[in-house]
Amino acid sequence: MSKNNYFKGWYFKCSANDKTIAFIPAYHRSKGIETASLQIITDKEAFNIEFDSLQYSEKPLCVNIDKCVFSENGIKLNIKNEKLSISGLLRFRCISPIRYDIMGPFRFVPFMQCRHGVYSMRHMVDGQITVNGQQLNFKNGQGYIEGDSGSSFPDRYIWTQSCFENGSIMLSVADIPMLGFHFTGIIGVVLLDGKEYRIATYLGAKLKHIGENTVMVKQGAYELTAKLIHKNCQPLYAPENGRMSRIIHESASCIAYYNFSCKDKLLCEFTSNGASFEFEYNK
């Protein structure tokens, strides 16, 4: 990975009362030029605000960008420009980190195009924010935090996340380039009744089917299916060689179906109208 082409970003999703908003602060460096940005995606629109820089720490996670703060404890917002006025305070509690790095042994592999991290599979969100005059109230809402770093997003990938009554789910399947060849990389976690189920290439996970907005993966006796039923996508910027120049489309809140089973035993099955989905595999 070139030191001149690098990005690092975080994804803070907050949902309550059939409303969803996600914040993506990011740092990017391309050809020696350093910049930062904050993307905000809601059920109906997306915003991109550019900044000169940001500051962050990993342990504990805390990202400062202009007058805004994003951390494991919550979010503080204060932005006002021609297109966007957003302010308020959200507090997080009962953060649910995963047991160990989602990348597993791949975290030690150099030159990876993109590395993923999960900070909280599920937590409670309380507070209030105002977006262009509209109030969003969060009381016992649900949150999720993850991050990415590297040079570029994969050319082809799917990513989905959803909280549900007894837990939370995250799954990503991507075409990974490495040292002149490609392989299908799978990382996922199902948090169910306090128990963590890890699905990953380094644990033997295989892609069973992908297409028609559906992805199915299998790992030993476990099988996980995610299907995008009704998208609600908005355009977002994604990194390409360190620059936020690629346009992807994310549904921050859409209708999706999930099924997780072990042999003939159904562990969980649900349809969510607050799922997040990116299906960038149709190439």
Tell me if 86 sits within 8 A of 79, measured CB to CB.
Answer: yes
Per-residue pLDDT tens digits of the chain, which is 283 residues long: 446 899 999 999 999 988 999 999 999 999 888 999 999 999 889 999 999 999 999 989 999 999 999 999 999 999 999 889 999 999 999 999 999 999 999 999 888 999 999 999 999 999 999 999 999 999 999 999 999 999 999 999 999 999 999 999 999 999 998 877 899 999 999 999 999 999 999 999 999 999 989 999 999 999 999 999 999 999 999 999 999 999 999 999 999 999 999 998 999 999 999 999 999 987 5
d(CA 271, CA 238): 28
Strand ranges for 43-104 from DSSP E:
46-51, 55-57, 62-65, 68-71, 74-80, 85-93
Cα gap 24→5, rounded to integer Å:
19
Residue with tokens 């990116």: 278
Distance (Å, whole) CA 129 – CA 99: 32
Question: So what's the pLDDT on residue 35?
Answer: 94
- Domain extent listing, the chain: 5-280
- Cα dist. 211→53, 142, 215 in Å? 39, 29, 7
The residue with tokens 């549900």 is 164
| Spatial contact of 138 and 92, defined as CB atoms under 8 Å apart | no
